Each structure stands twice: as structure tokens, then as C-alpha cells.
Amino acid sequence: MPKGTNQKFKLYRLAQIMLEKTDEEHFITMPEIKEALEAYEITADRKSLYNDLKDLEQFGIEVEGEPVGNRYHYHVVSRTFELPELKLLVDAIQSSKFITERKSNALIKKLEKLVSKYDGQKLQRQVYVSGRIKTMNESIYYNVDAIHNAITENRKIRFQYFQWNVKKEMELRHDGAFYQISPWGLSWDHENYYLVGYDSAVEKIKYYRVDKMLKVQMMEEEREGKEHFKKIDMAEYTRKSFSMFGGKEQQVKLLVDNELSGVIIDRFGKDVMMISAGEAQFTVNVNVQVSSHFLGWIMSLGAGVKIVGPDDVVEQMRREIGRLNDQYGV
């Protein structure tokens, strides 16, 4: 049999054919394998193909042949990812706010290459999530990578920070001046990535939305603020912050209706101590950074939650309610 012009790619093309055209529900026969190889200008006889299929195991591709009638049907037995696992990844990508529409489609296309073309069609799913708006900043992935690299290298970063104006235009804050921050972690809150860093100019821990950062660059200077993070459990610290808007950390006592116990556990964890305050209510002490967002969260729960202490936090809530009354003319 004369050899084709691309014989040196035989094993590679055979692997490609098996991975693309077969799975647990779809098979290919020996004549079909030969025909598929011929499309790549590669010739093969039956005996050499038997050996080639066995050789694929050295590359982690296990092929199984099953007798059906008077011929064998071949298919790939196992893959790095099972289809249900890839479906979970696709759903996570599609429902993530911080991944742009363009990048979502590109990532899903890459995941489709990990399964057969038939299973790839099953990955073309559409997950609908209420109120989900995709970010418009394509550079967020590179920002995250740059921040991780700076943390690993113990270096500061510099970046520009923007906000959207009423004309829906990017508007650089600080007149476009670069922020210089020591990065200490990344946090995920309300479907957004936040940089948790130390601003040595004001000696404070600050948060920055990663999708609002531009031109992130690693600096030569080493990070500062280590002493502020030594005693901090990052997960615990960010849990105390509401929507990454900091405030004075205080222990706040809440009086809560029993029916809202799930809301409290979801926000503060199962370890929170809830003390019965009659048949229909309980009290709970929580450590939070008291900010307008925390007060807004309390108000969003309606009559079912009340701040009962300390007095200065109760007074902050009264002032916030007074401000709202004035604003809306109640």
C-alpha cells in the first residue's frame, strides 16, 4: 500500500479522530477509521491500526473495541473530564458576572475540545441567572494573573482605577494618577473580584474592584503592611465586610425573627451563636464592619431584624433612617 504524504502525523491524527468522533454512546469501525485518516492523506492497513490503537494508551487514551455483528466498534473509554463535570464548568462560566460574554464563549469552545463532537453539542448550554450582567472589562483575567504574580513575588503593584459616568463612559479616578498598593489577597463578594491591599500612604487596608483596574503593573518595591495582615484570617475578614465597603469593626447585637435564621446562617456561618428570645425570636452577636451597606442590609430584611446594641450603632441606624426620611419626604 503506497504511503500517504502525511504518514508522520498518523498517530496524532488517529488520536484526534478517536477523541472527536467517539464517546460512550458513539463508535467508529475500522473502515471508518481508515476513511477518516485518508481525509488527512494518511494510509493505513488494518494490522497497523490495531497496534496504533494500543499505542494510544501510552498517551493516556484508552480505546476499547466491542464486537457488533461481524465487525468491531471502537470508542474512547475514559477522558480527563467526565461530561457532567464539564457541564458544571460551563454553567459556572456562563453564570459568572466577571467573565465577559466574549471570553465565556472562548472558554466554552476550549472545553468542547475535551470531549467528542457529540458531547460538545451538549455543552452548548444556556444558563439563565436573574439580574446577571456580564462585566465589560476584558482585561480582568490578566489583572487577576498580575495580582497573583505580585503576591507570589512579594511586590507592590500600580494601576489606574476607573468609574462609569452618566454618559456610560470610563472615567479615570484621581485624574488618571496611578495607585500604588501592596496586594495581599483577592476576595470574591457579590459576584465581583476585589483586591485586598494595603495603602501605605494612608496606612489603611483597602479594597478595589478588579474589573475597574487598568494597566496593572508589578513594581520593584516590596510589599508593605505585613504587620496588618499577620493576625487576619482573610476569609473571616472579608466575611465581616459588606460589599467590600469598610467601616469600623464592631460586635453588633441583633434581635431576629426565627423565620430569618437561615439568612443569618447564610451570612455569618453555622458557628454563630443564636440565643432564644421567646418563642418567635432570637438574639445573635455578630462581628461586622459597620457601614452604610451593613445598615442597608439590615433594612432590606424588614421588620424581622432589629439592631439592639451597641448604642452608637443603633444611633447610626436612626441617623440613616432620618436621612432617608428627609430624602424621600416621609
Residue range 132-175, pLDDT digits in tens: 556 666 788 889 899 999 999 999 999 999 988 767 788 899 99
pLDDT for position 102: 82
Is the pLDDT reported for residue 206 higher than 70?
Answer: yes
Is the pLDDT reported for residue 118 higher than 80?
Answer: yes
Residue with cell 439568612: 263
pLDDT for position 135: 65
Q: Where are the beta strands (DSSP E) in 141-224?
A: 155-164, 170-172, 179-189, 192-199, 204-209, 213-222
Q: Among 1-10, 13-22, 93-102, name the most confident range.
A: 13-22
Is the pLDDT reported for residue 126 higher than 70?
Answer: no
Q: Considering only CA atoms, which of 163, 158, 85 is closest in space to residue 119?
A: 85
Is the pLDDT reported for residue 240 higher than 60?
Answer: no
Is the pLDDT reported for residue 268 higher than 90?
Answer: no
Q: How confident is the model at residue 131 (pLDDT cuts 50, 70, 90)?
A: very low
Is the pLDDT reported for residue 244 higher than 50?
Answer: no
DSSP codes of every residue in 296-310 = HHHHHTGGGEEEEE-
Is the pLDDT reported for residue 195 higher than 60?
Answer: yes
pLDDT for position 287: 87
Q: How confident is the model at residue 57 (pLDDT cuts 50, 70, 90)?
A: confident
Average pLDDT over residues 283-302: 88
Q: How confident is the model at residue 199 (pLDDT cuts 50, 70, 90)?
A: very high
High-pLDDT (> 70) share of the chain, %: 88
CA distance 35 to 44: 9
The answer to whether 204 touches 198, Cβ cutoff 8 Å, is yes
Residue with cell 452577636: 285
The CATH class of 7-76 is mainly alpha
**What CATH number labels 140-231?**
2.30.30
What is the distance of C-alpha 43 from the center of its chain? Answer: 46
Distances (CA, A) of 32 to 7, 74, 255: 18, 10, 71
pTM: 0.57
pLDDT for position 58: 85
pLDDT for position 130: 47
Phi first, then psi, for residue 19 (nearest 5°) are -70, -35
Is the pLDDT reported for residue 211 higher than 80?
Answer: yes
- Domain-by-domain residue ranges, the chain? 7-76, 83-122, 140-231, 248-328
**What CATH number labels 248-328?**
3.30.70
Q: What is the pLDDT of the chain when averaged over all its residues?
A: 85
